Amino acid sequence: MNNRDRTLGGDRAHGGAGPIGLAIATLALAALGLAGAGASRAYAEEPAALLSSRANTPEIPTTVLEALDSAGDSPGVLEARAAYDKARVEAAAAGYRGDVSFSARPSWETSWVWGDAQDPYHEVTGTLETTVPTGLNDADHTRLRQALSRSAAAEAELREAVLEAVVTTYSVYAEAYLARAELAVLEDEAEAARLRSDAIEGRYARGEVSLLEVLSEREELRNAEQALDTGVMNAELALLDLIIESGAEIPSPSRPGALLDESPQLRSPLEFVSELKLPEHDTVLARIDHSHPRIVRQQALLEVAEAESSPRREPLLSSVSIGYSGQDGHGGAVSYSFRAPAVTLSYTPPRFELGSDPGASDSRRDRDDYETVSLSAVFSVSLGREREYAAETALAAASIEERRLAALHHTLVSEITAAERAVSNAESRHQLALQELERSEAAYAAAAARSTLGTAQPGEPESAAAALSRSRFAVTEREVSLALEKLRYLAAAHLPQSLPQRLQNTLFNEHNGGFR
């Protein structure tokens, strides 16, 4: 977009490029045409699968609404959408209690009397255990709140990226349309300059004017012709920008300079301007704190910092368990953990013995006849200032985010007010262009009348007609500039509901974050 020395809001330079720059640009476009011809030959040899994929490539948009429909697939929006999807997955993962786990701990023990390994004793035991998570601890809840806040921030960034893409796409489409529309004006100006040059040459041959006047007219003719050549290249470059922005396939012109002739005509970018609804400026400023994505994002960052600074209460009672053991070593236990909320169930079947236990005693055999119930608990206390230092650091970070939130409000008020003034200035420039058009129409009518009476200077009617074409183009240019400033205002204030309903349905669907 920045490869042309003109903007929608300012005056266009005519003939500003020098001969060297003109030659370089001509060679570049010629190379593009030759490369396109080579690509055409390669295209015919590509496999059917690739041809099928290219068949699904969008065509060059011919209306501004078609171009804006593709704004939701711009690189900035795709990146923001990927970040939003990632944040949603992370929030879902943060709220997940955990998987149910199963474990088995088999054990094989062999023993014998020292010096006599002929009669070993074997004992096989095992424990089956399952753990079922039941909830989140205090630290998990903090991470969940932070993940949800980051998801809200990512959603706000996505919504902001969509509106920014609308402004960028409209600007690119308007540039392409105006650059091509200006060619007719440049042709009229070049033709008028040629007629004036021919007339002054004839008068010089009759000795009526000086050589200085002839040279001056020749210079004006060269400038007009160079402006036309530059305009053609600018129009091709602007069309290429539109093709790239919309994701359409870059065509392969049959010859250098044929891109404009072989591409479809673009319709006016003003077709939906009447549907833009700008609310009262004071109303917009009053609702900044509630709906603007940048406020929502900064508020989410503040909530993340505040969640980090909130004190985390670790339970004094870490876990409690109750167990049972019966004859032959079988038994089971149930335990509950408060630090990582989960229930654990375990079972140990009777042990399997093979051989005579050389270490068995009467007391052990007596214990095997017992049935036992046990109750245990674990208490944990942390000593030190680690948690205190972490909380102080988090509080400092939260204070910074809070100050940024307060400063952001003032920044947004300034930016939105500046955008509103830009709309007012664009309206003023549009009115001035309309006044200039009235003067050009009057001058053209006077020149046509003098031409009818035979008192007009050679080339005067054509010059007046070219000036009238330039004034009409300036009015269109100012209207497009006004529409672009309105879109910028809607983007600065984040008012997607002021867009045409079709764009709202296409760009701000559930996949792009929806409305607040």
The 10s digit of each residue's pLDDT in 82-94 is 999 999 999 898 8
User: Which of the pair, 351 or 408, is modelled with greater confidence?
Assistant: 408
Q: What pLDDT, on the 0 to 100 scale, is given for residue 399?
A: 86
Which DSSP category does 91 fall into? H
Cross-strand bridge partners of residue 126:
106
pLDDT given at position 302: 86
CA distance 183 to 476: 14
In degrees rounded to 5, what are phi and psi of residue 107? -145, 135
Residue 424 · residue 489 · CB < 8 Å: no
Instruction: Please report, for the chain, how many H helices and E strands are present, in that order.
Output: 13, 7
Instruction: State the chain's mean pLDDT as an integer.
Output: 80
pLDDT at 442 over 90: yes
User: Considering the entire predicted model, what is its pTM?
Assistant: 0.73
Residue type for position 345 = L
The per-residue pLDDT for 75 is: 87
Please give the pLDDT value at position 183: 94
- The CA distance from 70 to 244, in Å, is 11
Of the candidate ranges 29-33, 192-196, 269-273, 495-499, the one whose mean pLDDT is the lowest = 29-33
Q: How confident is the model at residue 96 (pLDDT cuts 50, 70, 90)?
A: confident
pLDDT confidence of residue 343: 93
Identify the sign of the CA torsion 167, 172, 175, 180: negative
Reported as a single tens digit per residue, the pLDDT across 446-456 is 999 988 888 87
* 3 pLDDT higher than 50: no
7: confidence class by pLDDT, cuts 50, 70, 90? very low
Token code pair at residue 473: 């183009």
pLDDT given for residue 37 in this prediction: 41
pLDDT tens, residue by residue, 412-423? 999 999 999 999
Q: Higher-confidence residue: 190 or 37? A: 190
Amino acid letter, residue 467:
A
The answer to whether the beta carbons of residues 299 and 125 sit under 8 Å apart is no
Supply the pLDDT for residue 466: 92
**The predicted structure's pLDDT at residue 368:** 55
Residues in the chain: 516
The residue with greater pLDDT, 458 or 411, is 411
Is residue 74 exposed (0-12), middle (13-18) or buried (19+ Cβ within 10 Å)?
A: buried
Confidence grade of residue 17 (pLDDT, cut at 50, 70, 90)? very low
The values of phi and psi at residue 445, to 5°, are: -65, -40
Model confidence at 364: pLDDT above 80: no
Which pLDDT score is estimated for 300?
A: 87
Separation CA 85–CA 71 (nearest Å): 18
How many CB atoms sit inside 10 A of residue 139's CB?
13
Q: Which two tokens stand for residue 139?
A: 């630290």
118: number of CA atoms within 13 Å, CB side? 1
- Average pLDDT of 299-304? 85
Supply the pLDDT for residue 207.
Answer: 86
For the chain, give the percent of residues with pLDDT over 90: 29
Both structure tokens of 228:
């036309």
Confidence of residue 436 (pLDDT cuts 50, 70, 90): very high
Distance, in Å, from the CA atom of 502 to the CA atom of 485, rounded to the nearest integer, reads: 20
Closest by CA to 507, choosing from 7, 37, 72, is 72
User: Of all helices (H) and strands (E), which one includes residue 87?
Assistant: helix 75-94
Mean pLDDT, residues 400-409: 87
**Burial environment of residue 300 by CB neighbours within 10 A (0 to 12, 13 to 18, 19 or more):** buried
Q: Is the predicted pLDDT of residue 303 greater than 90, yes or no?
A: no
Position 471 scores a pLDDT of: 95
Residue 317 confidence class, pLDDT cut points 50, 70, 90: confident
Alpha carbon 252 to its chain centroid, in Å, reads 29
Taking alpha carbons only, the member of 509, 515, 516 closest to residue 72 is 509
Q: Residue 479's pLDDT is what?
A: 93
Between CA 207 and CA 212 the distance in angstroms is 12
Please tell me the predicted confidence (pLDDT) of residue 511. Answer: 53
271-294 pLDDT, tens digit each: 877 777 788 888 888 878 777 888
